[in-house]
Amino acid sequence: MNPNAPPQPRTGEGHLRRVGVEIEFAAIAPAKAAELVIDHFGGRCITLSPHRFKVIETRWGEFTIELDTTYAHPDAKVVEKAEAKGDEWNHWRLDLHNRTRQLIGDAVAGVVPTEIVCPPLPWLALNELDALFGALRLQGARDTHDSLFYAFGLHLNPEVPGTDAATLLAYLRAYLILAEWLREEIDIDFTRGILPHANPFPKEYAFKVLDPDYTPNLDTLIADYLIDNSTRNRELDLLPLFAYLRPDFPSGLLADPLVKPRPTFHYRLPNAQLSRPDWNAVCEWNRWIEVERLATDPERLAERSEAYIDHHRRSPVTRWLDQLKEWMHDA
C-alpha cells in the first residue's frame, strides 16, 4: 500500500514533509525488537539500559526501542548525581538503583508494551515500515486486541506544513470536525476507549475553536489550548508542537520532560493492530490525510465548522457521525 499524498507535501522550506511513527506491542522484548530493526534498516545497536536500546547509523536515523514505562529505566537525575559525587557510597546506591529498575522492567514486561520510536521518514517512504511490521507480526507481537489489559497504540507525528497560527488553526479545526469519523473508521479498542490515552477534546473547546470569529495569534492559540487541555492524553496532542514553537511559554505542562518538543502534530488515536496482515502505518496515514484535505479547503472547512456548531448546539435526532459518513461518501 502506498501513502496518499498530502495536499501540502512540502514544508515552507521546501523539503518533503516527514512523519515519525511510534508503535507499541507485547510479547517481543526490546532487545529482540532492536535486532529486527537492524535486519530491515541496518545500523548498530547501543544498549542504554537492560530495557532500552538505540539503533543508530540507519539510513533514516536513530530508532529507540524500550519498555514504555519510565520505572523500567535508570533515572537520569539519580545517575547524574551519583556519578558527580563518585564516592563508594554513591557508587553502591547507583548500582542498587540500576538493579531495582531492571527488576521492575523484568516484572512488568508482559503487561507494559515494548515501543519502537522510529526516526522521521519522508511521507513517501512511510511504506518502508511495512516489512518491519510484518517481521514483528511473524515473531508473535501481540497488539491491543489480544487482551483486555492491553491498550496499545500507533502514534503518527506528521511534520507541520507551516507554523503560523492560521495554518495550525485550520488543521485543528479539521481534526475536531472529523474526530468522530476517525474513531469509527479505526474502531477504537474498548480498553483504549475507557483509558485516558487518547481522550476527545471537550465540546466547549471545539465550539470556541470552530467559531468563525476565533482568529487567535499563536500565543493566544497556545494559551487557550492549555486552559481546556491540560493533559498529554488528547487524541491530537499539540503540546510537543507548542513546546517547540514557544520554548519559553510560561507553562509547567510544556516544560514537562515527557513532552518532547518537535514541529509535528502528535496524533495518538490509532490502535496498534499488528495481528492484522492488512494493517500498517500507511493505513493510518491515509486516514489522517482526510484531515489535511479538509484543512486546506477553506470554503469547505468554514461550511463544516458552521454545521458542527449548529448540530451540537441543538439536540438532533440524527448523529453527527451520520453527517460525517454522508460527507465522506460523497468526497
**Cα–Cα distances in angstroms (integers) from residue 259 to residues 116, 160, 240, in the given order:** 17, 17, 6
Residue 203 has pLDDT above 60, yes or no: yes
Q: Let me know: does 285 contact 123? Beta carbons within 8 Å.
A: yes
CA distance 91 to 215: 56
Q: Let me know: does 158 contact 288? Beta carbons within 8 Å.
A: yes
Coil, helix or strand at residue 131? helix
At which residue does the C-alpha cell 470556541 appear? 208
Residue 179 CB coordination number (10 Å)? 19
Please provide residue 182's backbone torsions phi and psi, each rounded to the nearest 5 degrees: -60, -45
State mean pLDDT over 227-241. 97
In this prediction the pTM is 0.90
Residue 248 has pLDDT above 50, yes or no: yes
pLDDT tens profile 268-305: 999 999 989 999 999 999 999 999 999 999 999 999 99
* Maximum Cα interatomic distance, the chain, rounded to a whole number of Å: 72
For residues 61-76, b (16+ Cβ closer than 10 Å) or e, as one string? bebbbbbbbeebbbee
State mean pLDDT over 75-87. 58
